[in-house]
Amino acid sequence: MSIRFDKESQLFVLETRNSCYQLRVDETGLLRHVYYGKGVGGTDMRYREKSSDRGFSGNPYDFQNNRGCSADTMPQEYSTFGTGDYRPSALEAVLENGSRSLELTYAGYQVESGKYTLAGLPYVRGAQQAAANTVQTLTIELRDEIAGISVFLSYGVFAEKDIITRTARICNRSGKTIRLEKAASMCIDFPYASFDLIHFSGRHCMERIPERRELTRSTVTVESKRGMSSHHANPFVILCDPAATEDHGDCYGFMLMYSGNHKEEVSRDQVGSIRLVSGIHDEGFCWLLAPGEAFQTPEVILSYSSDGLNGLSGNFHRILRENVCDTRFADRSLPVLLNSWEACYFDFDTDKLLKLADEAVALGVEMFVLDDGWFGSRTSDHSGLGDWFANEDRLPGGLKVLSEKIHEKGLQFGVWIEPEMVNEDSDLYRAHPDWALCDPGRKPVIARSQLVLDMTRGDVREYLFDCISRILKDAQIEYVKWDFNRSVSNMWSGNLPADRQGEVAHRFVLGVYELLGRIREAFPEILIEGCAGGGGRFDAGMLFYCPQIWCSDNTDPVARLSIQRGTSYGYPVCTMGSHVSASPNHQTGRATPLATRGIVAMAGTFGYELDPNRLTGEERRQIREQIDTYHRLERLIRGGTYYRLSQDVHPYCSWECVSQDRSEVLVSVVCTALEANAAFYCVKLRGLDPDRFYREERSGEVFSGAALMYGGYVLDTMHGDFPGCQIHFTPCAGGIAQV
């Protein structure tokens, strides 16, 4: 069993293949965190608990003579505000009498087979687990009898995958209204740790760049208040040993499955204990809980690895691929697409699109995607959002006729939408100005000439569901790109009373999830790619509904090396939307070889975003070869174990995909800083079978797995601007080495 409870010691033990998580109920009734880390062979880790009288750290009233007993110094499992713990809290509430103090004590537990689910929120699916009996759920109830609050902490334990999930459900049992002002998903304390923090910051067109810092006696906050998880601060953080590398050292990952405002607080207290609190951002948040109501927090995915950052990444890649993303698309060969955006932007008509489609067919492309500009009065980004009907002046017969003509050419068809937005210059806004988020009497903030629809409203969601359903039913559509092109501001909804305006940001996200869920259920075979100006909502919450997300609006392959490498710390290759675009690149102006652009785009979902009419004959030949190569290696790339081989992207960026049976390997290398008379680059592979022989595809040379991992593979000298190469190793006839 992966979950055990010892009644005498009041110790809970959660075990996975390589990790152990322990918590216990102490003599005060407080639920203490005891240990999280490498498996300890069944040892009760309470022996590590030490106490001391710390000045200005108060004591529970009934234990006032035990000055070493203080909520301010004890490792806790779900901290509260107001009763002596001065570190970041997980839960803050205001009672009807104005009191803000909460004191949660243990009230009971339950263990169940299988994984819990969450209503209205994304979660790690247990049903998709091949060995379902290895998944268990522990639910612990904590109560504050005076406040009349129960908190149910749920833990999902995926024993074979080294994953633990956490969430909290806060219930009002008081008979009076309670105001939640902070409701985090998890809190965890590490009393003897010395950690670095790795988080993933950035900006539009340069998302999820790793930042690593030593934790000092202060609080570091990773946060988004933009109404989305954001380009600027991903809801995924890593705590690791200061000496940890890609392949060695203790690493802990914490990924919040949420697409809205989030906050990760990492603090080191007066005696060096490290605390992490993760959940919905509390700034601007206020949720009224009427008697008998409950508030469900988003889920957090936790994982530990002693095998460095690559080992930790592998744990997250596997759980996201197999238990978060819709598995209907996991084993399917996905079509290589051509997106119209960088080919023609808003300047198109049916004839131009069909000419692009003809060129796509000649290249071996399998899907044509019509991006922005096909609906309403949309000829620029100043108008039309919200009017989800085809502009038949540009597209006679609408999407129905266009999609039929695309399919007649042997291509599948996809379309771009941005459902959550509206232009003031639109029929929708003129009919329903109250459907946009905006403070009363105040002119709203405008971004990209658009406002944000109030997704808390059922009538807005119903309108969007009807529009999207009509589009998907009328035309032959296999793919939807779902975009979201601005941060959210003016978070005021006419749908809610004044005392509930603090609920708007979270209810907005719940509304998006509800709409996406309905679309997924109604059209299960249509692939939805998430997008928010590229990677502004690249999070596990969106992956529950959209098995891939456009990684960044920046398609420059050199920039994408950093973006995709940073993304890979938590998210698998199969989720990263990545395309070959034109050179010079439209975002940076940088010129790069087509071969290198193809190598980088293959570390993702792979497609094209360029004008085929501008290609040379040689470029056409290369693209046909790239598509053949991708399909030949697609299963390895999408489903293999991913390793970052280089420590950075300069002067070489290298990465690797290894098949699950360790028989096949693809190594990709791009040189970003070529030097004259340069040293040779020797890349050491990871994850191979040391006793197996591997044949390098191009040269036919044979190497043992041990040689490739410990001695490495030496690349030939590279020349030109940003050169790259792929090295494919296949099983050598004769199989395993004989000793």
**Mean pLDDT, range 226-239, rounded to an integer:** 98
In angstroms, rounded to a whole number, what is the distance separating the alpha carbons of residues 335 and 322? Answer: 20
Find tokens 């042997």 and name the residue: 410
Domain(s) of CATH 2.70.98.60: residues in the chain: 3-51+58-324
Please provide residue 704's backbone torsions phi and psi, each rounded to the nearest 5 degrees. -80, 155
Asked if pLDDT for residue 280 goes beyond 70, the answer is yes
Asked if pLDDT for residue 738 goes beyond 50, the answer is no
Please state which of the ranges 450-454, 521-525, 717-721 shows the lowest mean pLDDT: 717-721
Please provide residue 428's backbone torsions phi and psi, each rounded to the nearest 5 degrees. -65, -45
pLDDT on residue 63: 81
To which H or E segment does residue 505 belong? helix 504-522
Tokens (6 digits) for 660 = 């699950």
**Mean pLDDT, range 509-513, rounded to an integer:** 98
To which H or E segment does residue 164 belong? strand 163-172
Contact, 730 vs 688, CB < 8 A? no
How buried is 41 (Cβ within 10 angstroms: 0-12 exposed, 13-18 middle, 19+ buried)?
exposed
How buried is 452 (Cβ within 10 angstroms: 0-12 exposed, 13-18 middle, 19+ buried)?
buried
pLDDT on residue 133: 64
Q: pLDDT by residue (tens digit) across 589-623? A: 999 999 999 999 999 999 999 999 999 999 999 99
Distance of CA 344 to the CA centre of its chain: 30
In angstroms, rounded to a whole number, what is the distance separating the alpha carbons of residues 204 and 447? Answer: 13
pLDDT on residue 132: 53
**Model confidence, pTM:** 0.97
Please provide residue 76's backbone torsions phi and psi, each rounded to the nearest 5 degrees. -120, 160
Q: pLDDT by residue (tens digit) across 621-633? A: 999 999 999 999 9
Contact, 552 vs 563, CB < 8 A? yes
Tokens (6 digits) for 470 = 């009509």
Q: In terms of Cα–Cα distance, which of 203, 295, 301 is closest to 506?
A: 295
Half-sphere exposure of 439 (CA within 13 A, CB side): 11
Pairing relationship of beta strands 262-268 and 251-256 according to DSSP bridges:
unpaired
pLDDT on residue 602: 98
Confidence class of residue 129 from pLDDT cuts 50, 70 and 90? Answer: very low
Contact, 365 vs 338, CB < 8 A? yes
- SS3 state of residue 731: strand
Torsion of CA 512, 518, 522, 526, to 10 degrees: 30
Please state, for a pLDDT cut of 90, what percent of the chain lies above it: 91
327-638 sits in which CATH class?
Answer: alpha beta
Domain(s) of CATH 3.20.20.70: residues in the chain: 327-638
Backbone dihedral region for residue 130 (phi beyond 0: left; psi -120 to 50: alpha; all else: beta): alpha
pLDDT on residue 66: 85
**Mean pLDDT, range 1-13, rounded to an integer:** 94
pLDDT on residue 370: 98
In angstroms, rounded to a whole number, what is the distance separating the alpha carbons of residues 177 and 452? Answer: 31
**Mean pLDDT, range 482-506, rounded to an integer:** 97
Q: In terms of Cα–Cα distance, which of 535, 543, 529, 523 is closest to 560?
A: 535
Asked if pLDDT for residue 707 goes beyond 80, the answer is yes
- CA angle 488–493–494, rounded 5-degree value: 150
Q: In terms of Cα–Cα distance, which of 197, 238, 240, 193 is closest to 215?
A: 197
Asked if pLDDT for residue 85 goes beyond 70, the answer is yes
Question: In one letter, which amino acid is 647?
Answer: Q
In angstroms, rounded to a whole number, what is the distance separating the alpha carbons of residues 80 and 153? Answer: 14
3-51+58-324 sits in which CATH class?
Answer: mainly beta
**Mean pLDDT, range 212-230, rounded to an integer:** 96
pLDDT on residue 131: 53
Tokens (6 digits) for 725 = 């190469």
Asked if pLDDT for residue 223 goes beyond 80, the answer is yes
What is residue 336's DSSP assignment? Answer: P
Domain(s) of CATH 2.60.40.1180: residues in the chain: 652-736
To which H or E segment does residue 617 belong? helix 617-639
pLDDT on residue 737: 46
Q: pLDDT by residue (tens digit) across 242-258? A: 999 999 999 999 999 99
Torsion of CA 129, 131, 136, 137, to 10 degrees: 20
Q: pLDDT by residue (tens digit) across 19-70? A: 999 999 999 999 999 999 999 999 999 999 988 888 898 888 888 888 888 8
Catalytic residues: 539, 619
Q: pLDDT by residue (tens digit) across 355-371? A: 999 999 999 999 999 99
Who has greater pLDDT, 733 or 317? 317
Pairing relationship of beta strands 652-658 and 665-671 according to DSSP bridges:
antiparallel
Please state which of the ranges 119-123, 473-477, 497-501, 647-651 shows the lowest mean pLDDT: 647-651
Confidence class of residue 134 from pLDDT cuts 50, 70 and 90? Answer: confident
Contact, 596 vs 580, CB < 8 A? no
pLDDT on residue 674: 86
Asked if pLDDT for residue 739 goes beyond 50, the answer is no
Secondary structure in 3-state letters for 181-214: EEEEEEEEEECCCCCEEEEEEEECCEEEEEEEEE
Asked if pLDDT for residue 736 goes beyond 90, the answer is no
Q: Report the largest interatomic distance among the alpha carbons of the chain, rounded to a whole angstrom.
A: 85
Euclidean distance between the first and final Cα of the chain, in Å? 39
The CATH number of the domain covering residues in 652-736:
2.60.40.1180
Q: What are the residues facing 144 on neighbouring strands? A: 149
In the predicted model, what is the mean pLDDT of the chain?
A: 95
**Mean pLDDT, range 121-127, rounded to an integer:** 92
